[in-house]
Structures are given as C-alpha cells and as structure tokens.
Structure 1
C-alpha cells in the first residue's frame, strides 16, 4: 500500500503540474522593452515558457546557443514552453516484474504530455506573490533529469518548493529550464569537436544561467545567490557545471545540490563516434563533404527516426550512455574525474546524495543474463573492453552473485528476479552513481563545505527497492529534503531553524550521511563506509579506462 500511495502522490503532484487556482490580477514583469504576463496562484506567481535563447533550428541546430539580444512587445507566460526533442525509449517489460515495479517505471519514465519541438530553449520562474524587484531573494535553478535523453520542465511542480520556502520564512525563487537532449544536445564525434559545438545541452544550461544573472532581479531574485540543483542527469549536469572551464563559475552560481549524480567516468568525445556515424548514415549524409552541415538540413522527422534507432538508457547496454557530456577540450578540458583530482572544481559548498538501489531499474533490461560467464561478457564488452581478464575477474570477485549482498540491498534472498540480477544492479549502480559520489566527496571535502545523503526509503518496493528517483518524494512534496534544500539556498548550509535532525558536514575523518528511512525514525546519521572495496576497485578502473 505504501508504494501505491507514494506513486499516486508522485503522479499527482511531484511529476505533473496541475491547473493553478488563479487570483484576479495576473502578475506582470518587464524585461527590456517587453511585458511578460504570468499566472497568479495563491501565494505564488509563475511565469512559464520564457525564451532564454534563440530557437536552435535551421543553421542553429547542432550549434552553440545564441542569446536573445533584447525582448520587445508583449508575451503571454501562462503556458509551459515546448520541451526539447526526446529520444524514444522502450520501458522494460517482463512477466517477472511485479505490478508495483511496472507502475514505477511508467510513472517515472513515461512520455511527456506537453508539446515537443526543436524550438525549446525556454524557462519557467516561480516566485512568492509578495516579491518586488528589490526583494533580493535567493534563487534555486532546477535542472531536470532523464538520462540526458528525455525530460522537460512541465513535469515538475515548482510551486511546492516555493511554498515550502514561504512556510519556512526563507523564501526563494525557483527557475527551471529546458535544454537540448540526446543527439540534439550531446552529439559527440571528431567532427563535432573540430566544429567546437560539443556538449550543447550543458551550453544551453550555461546560457540559461547567464539569463538568470541578467534578468532575475526583475522577478525579485538576487543574482549573487544562485544555487544550481538537479536530479539524475540533472545532478550530473550540476557536477559538470562545477567542472566547466576548469572550475570557473563565471559568477553564475554559488552553491550546488545534487540528487543521484556526480562527475561521471566519461572519456573523450570520440567515444560517441559510433553513434554519430550511425545517424549520418541513417539520414543520408554519408556522402556529404561536411556531414555536420548536412545534419543541420535533415528534416526533423528523418533525424528523429535516426536518433531513435540508437541505444537509450533502457536498451541492453543500459547506463553505457550513447549521449552524455564528454571531453571536448573547451567546456570539459579533461575527464571529469581527472578534473576532480587536479582540483579544477568550482570551490563552492555542495550537497550530493544517492538512493540506495540506484542500479535496479536500469538492470531490468539485462534479465537474460543468468550465468557468471554471461556477466563477465556483459561487463567486459559494455563497460571495460580494454580491461584485462584479471581486472574483470577481480571486480566480479567483489560483486558476486550472492543474493544477500546484491541490490536491492538488505533484502536477503528476496528480489532475485534472476540469478544475476541483484549482482548486475549492484555493480551498475555503484559504477555510475555511488562510487563517483564518494570519489567526489573524498577529493573535495577537505577544500570546501560538503554534505551527503542516502535515501533508503521504499526499501520494501518489490523488485527495485530504494530505486533511482524514489527520493523525488522527499523533495517535490515538501518533505524533509525540501527544507534542507531551502535552507541551503538561503545560507549555504542545509541546517537552520527548522525542527529537523542536524545534518553534519561530510569529512574524510567523519563521512556522515543524512539517511532517509522508512518507519517511525525517518532520519538518521550513518557513515559512508559501505562497500568500500567495490567503490575503490570501480574507481580505479574508471580512472584507467573511462567506461562511458
């Protein structure tokens, strides 16, 4: 029953924006020579679909975002803007899955309802209704997740965050932006690198942050008090923004808050060459002297079909992302983990955390793997093709097929969909989420204020446990994590006056975790020392081989 209640709430409030109860007077804001009219909803004003860059269409497809020089005229900011093109994904389907697991997948990873178009670089702003241009409120900028392949701002109710901040008497302004996804935002190849147009999704985010600096004062925000916050690939994006330009924030943000995402073990941009070549061939651009220029002229439907034919995060290769931020020599001058080791990281306070069973949902597409030899082949071919037999055997000697040590963790022999499912879920979740988070903290907690968390809620959720995304309930419905976020945005410290458990800083000597639990004791302080051998081994392989 608790799972059904959770998912019903998630669908109703956290992941879908309902129709607001409007007041008689619609809010208005002036930007340059233009007037934007938004929506009044109780104690909150919201402005939707504001363009922050020129449409990335025509010659601007696969090109850097171009800022809008000046606004003129009148704009209706009452409806969400277009979401960016999405890569089609096929959700895992198996007669082995429970009804709850299937419902979870459809709720968190189902398609968007709002319009989709390449003309999609727009953002939304939520403010307390009482703000004025002199209010100087802290600003939280939300970057949504979706594996860098799907997602949009309309899936999240920013009013919940702003209302919680009002109730805490620590009001904030929330901004969320759409950014280019999949091949449109993360096309990677030698051609893309040579043209200087890599990591466009991150560049879009950066452009939105520049827009905040220029215009947020008109909404009552303080451009010197910006916190960037994301979940999943949104959190990975936050981490990449901290590493961009060698750690130079350009004054765009002063704090970071990450849910299930850290500096990824990605390699050079040429790691995406195979997907670029596939799209070029599928669109008829193979014979062009300039294949990138040819792709800019391909009809949208043709390009969509070609992109959809490439792997997604629910393909067999799972978290071996086809489209992901990669080293381009400009935005990311080295691998993210090398940049962390070299200290080329924004020196700002940050919060980062994970769900306990990050890898379960993404291991539902490899249920045909049932033997030790098949696991060996999958790990070698998918993540570490250059590793030695000894190295892979060493990894698998740590991540064994013992059901009692696999993910969902702490569930004994339960949830063993196949003899190897919990093993693969443990390995993938640690490789992409948990080990990178601990690596980040171990290398940065000596130099900047850091806090970390672990969500073990919904542990009894059949098949997937405390799966990726289950922590959304903790924050989009005014739960404890919302309070910690609001206090962090105000004071660069998640602690405050609220009657919550004090969240200690993370240090090498005391790697504290704020742990979210089911039951009568919802919060506890635990130590970030679990699966140390596995994390260390995965990190060493990642630093050597850069599996993504």
Structure 2
C-alpha cells in the first residue's frame, strides 16, 4: 500500500514505488511563514490528500556539482522544509528502525532529490540483509537564507529546520511504519556539524529526542558559533552589495531569494554560519551529550576541500617559519608543497575537532564507535581518501561503480544498518579502518600526525591553517 491515511496528521499521503522501496516525497515537516521566520512543526494537513510522488522543493542555491538530476529542480525558500521517507516494500509486523540523515554541502548547497544522494540502494540493502530500516532525508534552508541573522538579531534558520525535522520524525514517523523509539540521527560534513550542535542542544535542554548519532567528517569545532553582532556586519555588506537598506534583506519582494544567495557568495559570507541567539545559547559548548551511542568518522585526506585555497608555493615556507608553532607543524607534516598543507589543514580542521567531540562524548559516558575512512576515491585515486568520499559507499547510487566498490559499499552499509539497529557494528574497544578495498577491525591509529597537533596551542593551529588556506573557493 502506497497511501498512508494518518489520523495523527489529519491527512493522507500518496507514495510512489521506486525499485524495492516505497517513497513519500515532499512531506512538509514545518511551515515557514516568511523569510527568517522560525519553522513551525507541521502537525495538521487539514484532511487533505497530499501527492508525495514527485520531488519536493530545495532551498535556492548557486549551481553546483551536486545538481545531478533528471529534470529541473523546484526551489522555494519557504517550502524547502520537506523530507523524503523511504521504506522497503513489504508488510512488517513491527515498526522499523529509522535513519534520519542530514546532507552536507557547507550549508550552502545540497539536495535530497539529487542522483548523488539517492537513499534507495541503502534501504534496499537493509531489507536484503534482513534488517529493514526506514530512511528519512531532509531539506532545510541554506546560505544566507538559512544562516544570516535577521533584523531582530536571530539566526540559525537552517539548524532550526533540522531540529524541527528531528521533532517531526520522533512524533510522526510511526504513521509511516517507523519506530519513534529507535531513531538514529546522522549527517556528513556540515550535516554532521549540525547533528553535533543538535546533540549538544538536546543535552543542554533535556529534550531527549536524540539517543543515537552518526557524525562523519564534521563537528562543531570546525565552525564554532559566532556572536550575532559579528554576523550582523555581513547584513550591512550584503545590503551594500545589493544597493538596498538592511531591513530590505528580510523582504523577498525587495530582495529575491537568488539575489540574496548571490550576494552572500560575493561578500564571502562566513562559513561560521551558526549564531549564539535564542536558539543556540552561549553555554552550548559546555553541554554534556546525553546520547546512548555514537559513531564518529573522518577521512584521511579531508584537506581535499582546501586545494583551491592554498597560498602560492613561495609563501608556504615563510608562513610556517614565522612562528614556533608553524615550525613544529612543518616538521610534523614534512611540508614542502600544497599537498602537505592540505593534509595538515584537513587534520587540524576535522580530525582535531573530532578529538574534541570524542572528549565530550567520553564525559557523557556515551558508547562510541570510532571509524577511519581511508579508502581512496574509486573514480579518481589521485584525490586520495578525499572529503566526502565515504558518501560514494554509503549511498552506493553513482553509476559505473567498480565491482570491488560495490562489495565494499555493501559491507559499509551493513555496518551502518547494524548501528541503526542499536547493535554493535564491530567490537566497541576496537576501531574500523576502511581502506584498501576492505574494512579491518582492531587497535589501529592512522591519525598519529593529527594527534601530535593536540600537544600544540589549538588556537594557534587554527590560525595557522587559516593563514595557509585563506578565504576562497571550496573544492566541494
């Protein structure tokens, strides 16, 4: 049956069969009344029958390589608070565990209807191994539409959307056959950073809506929240760029969505995106996570993101030699070229931040599974184990995957599915090392270089990384 008749939501939802799954697309989890308005949990569909057979709206964004799609995207800043629910075909006696996933893309780009982010193979594999899960992927507001401060000094609109989606799934996924008591919240890159922020908010405010989290290549230490006053300076810059008054930024009739998106790119709106406001309190980082289990992962060459931002070769050595910290980093990473700079930058940005995250989880008594994803890109080995290469294997949806990559993807998906089932994907006192076309378990530590950075002043480390890879284009 593809139509869900829900009394709790006061509506009917028409789904569509895709492969061995049933999918409900463009299901609104929140209403957004106007630009820079907080999302309102969607609880009443007014007795209507909702067509959930077509792709939903994404947030207006600049063209990007994630746009692999059969047709034109539909974009709307007020209707992008929608989700895609994917369930295996079949009749199940019991509610199924749920994997709620937040896509990455630097909080600038991303689309749950792209060919690059198709959850169908993951859900099909879960059924094939006898552990069927429901996967929920969400759209949310992006760029300045999602993270600019408003004229009343608030922000975090995209993060607020993510929080509301978690609440919606906890409250209503049972209508689609999901088990609200077994919801895993996961994400990659900026999606993972969002998960971490929500985990801390949940722990600080005792909501109890997140008990299991998967965080890959991103934690809050990558982009710490910023004061509203600092982000407000970019409102002035955007208004000047557009030739309007600051208050006009809040009015889509005066500043259309794509105009604001383009202005944000031109003024280099900071990737700090989060603001300390009424949603994210300034004591957020002191929160103790209340998770039961967590799976934390990072990639060997996260610094692939920075390859287009490295300073000219002649400037690398003088920058490193200008401080004692720089000299130590130069020695640790044997830095001669931009490639070693990127390795250091990726480790200092992602891996060190994950070490801080692991410390938080330890304080909270969380049962942690640690993973190192060091498998090189199957399409271009020169990119090494680049940032986001793990998604090739988690989604298993890209065409022309080599046979060995499909086999590895099956093993990787199986581990994630076990985690969603609250089972041990591997012995908890060991780590998983994904690489060389296989997964090994044991007492490995391929992040020894990054761990040496923990003995240095982390503020100086971050500043050095920023100086070596100044603002510019991300290699997403």
The answer to whether the superposition gives a TM-score over 0.5 is yes
Confirm or deny: 8 A CA contact 1:241 1:249 kept in the other structure. no
Confirm or deny: 8 A CA contact 1:369 1:375 kept in the other structure. no
Change (3 A) 1:181 1:307: same
Tell me whether 1:128 sits opposite 2:83 in the alignment: no
1:207, 1:169 → 2: CA distance? 31
- The correspondence of residues 302-451 of structure 1 with structure 2, limited to 5 A, is 302-311=259-268, 322-334=270-282, 339=285, 342-366=286-310, 368-372=312-316, 375=319, 393-400=323-330, 405=334, 419-445=336-362, 447-451=365-369
2:221, 2:384 → 1: CA distance? 24
Superposition TM-score, scaled by structure 2 size: 0.83
Aligned residue for 1:75, secondary structure, equals strand
User: What does the per-residue CA deviation read over 1:398-448, in whole Å, with 9 as the maximum and x for residues that have no partner?
Assistant: 33289x746xxxxxxxxxxxx531232023202221100112113423521
1:181, 1:542 → 2: CA distance? 29
Q: 2:76 aligns with which of 88, 93, 117?
A: 117
Shift of 1:522: 3.7
Aligned residue for 1:344, secondary structure, equals coil
Q: 2:125 aligns with which of 164, 169, 179?
A: 164
Confirm or deny: 8 A CA contact 1:248 1:346 kept in the other structure. no
Question: Match of 1:268?
Answer: 226
1:254, 1:242 → 2: CA distance? 9
Shift of 1:543: 9.2
Q: Write 1 or 2 for the structure with the bigger share of strand.
A: 2
User: What does the per-residue CA deviation read over 1:281-333, in whole Å, with 9 as the maximum and x for residues that have no partner?
Assistant: 223333x5x4654577423343233223232xxxxxxxxx7144434143322
Question: Match of 2:406?
Answer: none
1:302, 1:503 → 2: CA distance? 51
Tell me whether 1:186 sits opposite 2:147 in the alignment: yes
User: What does the per-residue CA deviation read over 1:60-94, in whole Å, with 9 as the maximum and x for residues that have no partner?
Assistant: 201211233411311111111011111456xxxxx
Q: In angstroms, what is the RMSD of aligned CA positions? A: 3.1
Shift of 1:246: 5.0
Question: Match of 2:386?
Answer: 467
Aligned residue for 1:209, secondary structure, equals helix
Aligned residue for 1:436, secondary structure, equals helix
Confirm or deny: 8 A CA contact 2:375 2:385 kept in the other structure. yes
Q: 1:63 aligns with which of 19, 37, 42?
A: 37
Confirm or deny: 8 A CA contact 1:224 1:251 kept in the other structure. no
Confirm or deny: 8 A CA contact 1:360 1:425 kept in the other structure. yes
Confirm or deny: 8 A CA contact 1:157 1:476 kept in the other structure. yes
1:227, 1:67 → 2: CA distance? 20
1:40, 1:249 → 2: CA distance? 38
1:158, 1:121 → 2: CA distance? 18
Confirm or deny: 8 A CA contact 2:299 2:387 kept in the other structure. yes
Tell me whether 1:504 sits opposite 2:428 in the alignment: yes
Aligned residue for 2:260, secondary structure, equals helix
Change (3 A) 1:117 1:437: same
Change (3 A) 1:30 1:246: closer
Shift of 1:452: 1.1
| Unmatched 5+ stretches in structure 2 | 397-408, 472-476
Change (3 A) 1:280 1:462: same
Change (3 A) 1:211 1:542: farther
Q: 2:376 aligns with which of 458, 478, 484?
A: 458
User: What does the per-residue CA deviation read over 1:38-79, in whole Å, with 9 as the maximum and x for residues that have no partner?
Assistant: 11234321111111112x4xx620121123341131111111
Shift of 1:150: 0.3
Confirm or deny: 8 A CA contact 1:225 1:253 kept in the other structure. no
User: What does the per-residue CA deviation read over 1:345-402, in whole Å, with 9 as the maximum and x for residues that have no partner?
Assistant: 23331111111000123222336343336645xxxxxxxxxxxxx9x72332233289
